[in-house]
Every structure is written in C-alpha cells, then in structure tokens.
Amino acid sequence: MAQSVKIRRGTKAELVARGALLSGEMGFCTDTKEVYIGDGTVNLFVGRVLSGPYASRPSAGVSGRYYYVTGGGANSGYLYLDDGTQWARMNALGLSDLGGTLDDISDGATYGKVRGTELTGGRVSRVSDGTNTKTAAEIKTHIDDATKHRIINDAGTAITDLWSAQKIRNEIELAKRNIEPQASVKDQHLATPPASPVEGDRYIIPSGGTGVWAGKTNQIAEWMSGAWAYFTPVTGWTAYVDDEQKIYSWNGSAWVRTGGALQTITAGNGLTGGGQADAVALAVGAGNGITVGTTSVAAKPGKGIVVNSVGIEANIDADSIVYDAANGNRLTLGVVDGGTF
C-alpha cells in the first residue's frame, strides 16, 4: 500500500503559537502558503516568492519575505519586501517611482544638471550661451518683435511679410521670364555679338549668329553681369526694336511685326503689286483698251467706251442698262427681252 510522507502544516498563527521547529524540521502555512525550516531556535522562511493580488498579501511581520503583485490595478507588477514592520515596494516601473533628482545621472564623462528654477512644467524655460541667459518668454518676445525683424513667410503677400533668399530668387526669375521679354532690344539683325556691350543691352539673335550667339537663332540675348544670358521666346512675347522703332511679336516660329497680318495688301481687280511693308506700291493693270502710262491712264473708244472732252464715259443704251442719276449714279438693268423663236 502506498505511503504518504507529510511535513508539519497548519495556519501561520498555529506555527507562531507552537514556536521554533526542531533543527531541520519543515513547516507549511496553509493560509499564507509559506514554507519554514526550523533550526531549534527560530523558524527560517524558505521557498518561492509569494505572489497574488495586492489585497491578498499576508500581514507584514516576517522580515525577508517577498511578495509579487500579479493583480490589483495600479500596484500590478510591483515587488514588495516584508521588513518586519511593513511591506516596502522594491522595484520601479516608471520615472514617477524614482525619488531624488536627475542631476547626478552621468553621461559617461560629465554630469548634466538643470536648475529647478529653470524648469517650467517639466520643460527648460531658460537658454544660456555661458554669458547671456534668456527666458523662453524673452526669446519669443524678441522673435515676434517686427521692429527688429520679421518672421520669414514665403507664402505671405503682406508688406510686413519677409521672404527667404530662395523665394526672392524664384520671383526674380519668374519676373524675367514673363515681363522682361516685353522690354526693348537694340537690334534684331546683328549676327556678331557686340565687342563692348553695356549691362542690360538686349538683342534678338538672327539666323547665322556667330561666336557665343551661334546656334541661338531667334533667342533674346541680354548682357548680364559680364556674360550673355539667353531667353527662348514663347508665343506672345513682344519686343520693341530700337534701331527700327517698330514692335515685333513671336508667333511661335518667327518674329513678326505686331499686327502684321492686318498690314498685308493683296492686289486684285486690275491692280498689281501689294505685300507687307511700311510702303506698298499698287499699279493699275493695262489691257482691254486701257493704257497705263507713268503718270496717266488712257482708254481707246470701243466696246461701249466713249472718249470725249469730258473724259472716259460708258455708252449706255438706256434700254437694257439705265443710268440712274437720281439714286447715286447707279447703273441698273432695264428691260431684258429674250424675244421669240
């Protein structure tokens, strides 16, 4: 038959009432789950760390016992030591558990310290370079003082807004590309760059440009800071040509006189010549009984034309063609009779 071997057991109060166990004798407290071994004089606590909910800790009074809280809300995770009088918390779970100050924490070589008077709401409120010391409020007041300086605001358009250097550069380039090409150029037929240009001189480079202008036909060249800057025209760019005193616009493929299409004169109805220029010559075409001289025009009689002392007249038969003097000297058809078969 199987045998059971048991050690002394009972409540903690019963063990205390019994007194010291014999040397080597073991006792188990059924209520506190503690294990003790006697040495003939006192009972020594042995065994694992006690654990359980915070409210289930046994009363303090046995020095050296540990109790780990496995539940109980805010106390969960803490380890307590029975110092004979009370349970004292042993471990820290956060900075809030630490006492003292942080000014004795080493960075490996020196110690960094912050005065309590320079902390506001857990944040450093004062800055020093070793000589000058300013509070955060003083620094903010200085930054916000528009009389000393303005805050950079690239998105701002108010007169008090300050742009960064890059923003200013971008705006200048944008202005040059969209406004400057509307300014004048000195010439549009000069193929060779001038030897001594003046700052701001501008030219439209013609076909066949030489030197540094080679291969830049129709571009606008501007002498800028000791070098030529080039601008490729965009449809609609307009420039006044100084030596011609005329305005030209870029139509996408060529520089043309502004409104040039409206200045084109096409000859027709007996006229010859025409074209597009400041002066256009038209000549009356000769033929069909009309002779054109250097300073005169003559017509031979015939085919309904009569030449007399009055000048050149058309012979109107007054039947089929009627001269209507009462209505602006118009010629109108009279009676047209096809006759019979």
What residue ranges do the domains of the chain occupy?
8-96, 183-260
pLDDT of residue 204: 96
pLDDT exceeds cutoff 80 at 306: no
pLDDT of residue 262: 45
pLDDT of residue 274: 73
pTM to 2 decimal places: 0.34
pLDDT of residue 102: 57
State the pLDDT confidence band at 305, using cuts at 50, 70 and 90: confident
Collapsing DSSP to helix, strand or coil, 217 comes out as: coil
pLDDT of residue 212: 96
Mean pLDDT, residues 212-222: 95
Q: List the single range of 12-16, 245-249, 268-272, 300-304 with lowest mean pLDDT.
A: 300-304
Mean pLDDT, residues 290-319: 72
pLDDT of residue 10: 92
Mean pLDDT, residues 253-281: 72
Collapsing DSSP to helix, strand or coil, 229 comes out as: strand
Q: List the single range of 127-131, 181-185, 238-242 with lowest mean pLDDT.
A: 181-185
pLDDT of residue 279: 73
Q: What secondary structure letter does DSSP report for 162?
A: B
Collapsing DSSP to helix, strand or coil, 52 comes out as: strand
Collapsing DSSP to helix, strand or coil, 55 comes out as: helix
pLDDT exceeds cutoff 90 at 86: yes
In 10 A of CB 226, how many CB atoms? Answer: 7
Who has greater pLDDT, 96 or 16? Answer: 16
Who has greater pLDDT, 209 or 224? Answer: 209
Mean pLDDT, residues 287-305: 71
Mean pLDDT, residues 281-308: 72
Q: What is the mean pLDDT of the chain?
A: 80
Mean pLDDT, residues 216-233: 91
pLDDT exceeds cutoff 70 at 174: no
Task: Identify whether the C-beta of residue 167 lies closer than 8 Å to the C-beta of residue 175.
Answer: no
Tokens 């075409």 correspond to what residue? 285
Q: List the single range of 69-78, 132-141, 211-220 with lowest mean pLDDT.
A: 69-78
Who has greater pLDDT, 175 or 307? Answer: 307
pLDDT exceeds cutoff 60 at 260: no
- Cite the DSSP H helix spans in the chain: 12-18, 136-144, 165-178
State the pLDDT confidence band at 188, using cuts at 50, 70 and 90: very high
pLDDT of residue 178: 55
Strand partners, 257: 248
Q: Which of 111, 115, 136, 116 is nearest to 125 (CA)?
A: 136
Who has greater pLDDT, 5 or 99? Answer: 5
State the pLDDT confidence band at 182, using cuts at 50, 70 and 90: low
Who has greater pLDDT, 331 or 207? Answer: 207
Mean pLDDT, residues 200-225: 94
Residues 2-41: tens digit of each pLDDT? 788 888 999 989 999 999 999 999 998 888 778 889 999 9
